[in-house]
Amino acid sequence: MKHTSLAESYAHAHPPTDKRTISFDPALQYVSTTGQHAFVPPGPGDFRGPCPGVNALANHGYIPHNGIVTIDQLVNGSYTVFGMGRDLALSLAVYSTGMDGDIASLSLSIGEGDKAILAQNGLTGSHNNFEVDASPIKGDLFQYGNNHDGQMSQFVQLYNLQSNVSDPSQVNYDVDLLTSFRLSRFQQSIDKNPYFFNGPLTGVFVQPAAYYFIYRLMANKSEEYPEGRLDRETLKSFYGITGSEEDDFVYTSGYERIPDNWYKRAIGDEYGIVSYFDELSGIALAHPKFFSIGGNTGQVDSFTGVDLTDLTGGVYHANTLLEGNNLKCFTLQAMMMHFPIGATGPLEGVLDELADMVDPLLQSWDCPELEKIDESLLEKFPGYSRYQGVERRD
What structural domains does the chain harbor? 6-126+136-258+267-385 (1.10.489.10)
Contact 255, 292 (CB under 8 A): no
For residues 57 and 67, is the Cβ–Cβ distance under 8 A? no
Cβ count near 172 (within 10 Å) = 18
pTM summary value: 0.91
- Distances 112 to 100, 240, 357 between C-alpha atoms, Å: 10, 19, 31
Mean pLDDT value across the chain: 90
pLDDT digits (tens, 9 = 90+) for 2-33: 334 333 443 434 443 344 578 999 999 999 99
Quote the CA–CA distance of 127 and 281 in Å, as a whole number.
Answer: 25
What is the tens place of the pLDDT at every residue in 280-290?
999 989 999 99
What was the pLDDT predicted at 120? 86
pLDDT value of position 338: 84
Residue 116 is predicted with a pLDDT of 75
Average pLDDT estimate for 354-379: 94
Average confidence (pLDDT) over 171-197: 97
Read off the pLDDT of each residue in 166-194 and give the average, rounded to a whole number.
Answer: 96
Is residue 175 within 8 Å of residue 217, measured between CB atoms? no
| Three-state secondary structure string covering 159-197 | HHHHCCCCCHHHCCCCHHHHHHHHHHHHHHHHHHCCCCE
Q: Which is higher by pLDDT, 342 or 53?
A: 53
State mean pLDDT over 337-353: 82
Res. 262: pLDDT tops 80: yes
Pair 272, 87: CB distance under 8 Å: yes
